[in-house]
Amino acid sequence: MKTNTPSRVAEKRSDSTASPQPLVSCQNVTRQYTRGKKSVLRQRKATQTVTALDDVSLAIDRGEFVGIAGPSGSGKSTLLHLVAGLDTPTRGLLSIDGTDVTTLSAKQRTRLRLETIGIIFQHFYLLSALSARANVAIPLVERGWSKRKRRERATTLLTTVGLDDRITHKPSELSGGEQQRVAIARALATEPDLLIADEPTGELDTATGGSILDLFEELSTDHAVIMASHDERALARTDRVIRLQDGKLIADA
Ligand code: ADP
Ligand code: MG
């Protein structure tokens, strides 16, 4: 684990624009899922409630590289989906960059997500028919950028992640690590304050996963990076690890 000395944190935070509130704030956040099950015998609908996140409170600042740890089913993806604005809590308060997301409409949450957050999924979700460059440019179409500007920006981003020689390759022509880098470049396209990655090194070999972690560490100097993982070696690279068990926060250090 990197030692998170006060001076390191102060140095990182002073780089970014000073903001009085944390970038992400969860207060007593609970997320329950209800599964409906029709009971043939009783002729009525039986429901089962799963508490995926249970009364979780935390705050994350700009400049932090935070790991979310816990066994499968402990609530890591649920927490990331909430923080990404893809889902809303059943109870509790959740604010992103000072905006209470629990009061926003789905459309407003989508806008906040497009403006503030970049998401990297475990399975990359690249479009197979498009080149690396066109995949990276997708979020900029939404922004109304011209084709020429989109291409320029996508090329710069692919260079940043070390793929300047893979710009016109299709996903099927790239290795797993290269595809993950394309997904990272795409997440960075809109200059998000917050990068969210769900098990980003899960399917990569140790060396490739290590280079993805190098990139996150570098990015966390001016973005907040939140990474769910059950790989202790990956977690050791973060500034701070939040541990979940059965939806409860059991450690934050
Ligand atoms: P992790 O990412 O740590 O593996 P998840 O956040 O995916 O954990 O899941 C936490 C719990 O919530 C699990 O018991 C899972 O089955 C349940 N869960 C997650 N998403 C849903 C859903 N959409 N509907 C019902 N249950 C869900
Ligand atoms: Mg998960």
Model confidence pLDDT, tens digit, residues 205-251: 888 888 889 989 988 988 899 999 988 999 999 999 999 999 999 99
Please choose, from the candidates 138, 132, 162, the residue with its C-alpha nearest in 3D space to the C-alpha of residue 150: 138
pLDDT score for 8 = 43
Q: Tokens 């390759």 — which residue?
A: 169
Give the Cβ contact number of residue 222 at 10 Å.
Answer: 14
Q: Is the pLDDT of residue 1 over 50?
A: no
Minimum-distance ligand 1 atom for the alpha carbon of 198: 2
pLDDT score for 241 = 98
- Note residues around ion ligand 2 (Cβ under 5 angstroms): 76-77
| Smallest-distance ligand from the CA of 81 | 1
> What percent of the chain is modeled with pLDDT above 90?
65
Residue bearing the bigger pLDDT, 4 or 89: 89
Sheet holding 44-60, edge to edge: 44-60, 24-39, 91-96, 99-100
| Smallest-distance ligand from the CA of 34 | 1
**Pocket, ligand 1, Cβ cutoff 6 A:** 33, 35, 50, 52, 70, 72-78
* Domains of the chain, start order: 6-252 (3.40.50.300)
Q: Is the pLDDT of residue 186 over 90?
A: yes
Q: Is the pLDDT of residue 82 over 90?
A: yes
Tokens of 248: 């409860």
E-assigned strand segments in 97-183: 99-100, 117-120
- State the average pLDDT over residues 127-136: 96
CA atoms of 150 and 143, how far apart (whole Å): 10
pLDDT score for 224 = 94
Take atom 11 of ligand 1 and give the residue whose Cα is closest: 52
| Smallest-distance ligand from the CA of 199 | 2
pLDDT score for 14 = 44
**Do the beta carbons of residue 77 and residue 33 sit within 8 Å?**
no
Q: Is the pLDDT of residue 143 over 50?
A: yes
Tokens of 63: 């400049």
Minimum-distance ligand 1 atom for the alpha carbon of 230: 3
Q: What angle do CA 72, 126, 102 make, to 5 degrees?
A: 55
User: Can you name the residues that pair with 228 across neighbouring β-strands?
Assistant: 68, 198
- State the average pLDDT over residues 157-165: 91
Q: Is the pLDDT of residue 178 over 50?
A: yes
**Do the beta carbons of residue 26 and residue 56 sit within 8 Å?**
yes
Tokens of 104: 């926003």
pLDDT score for 209 = 85
Residue bearing the bigger pLDDT, 52 or 45: 52
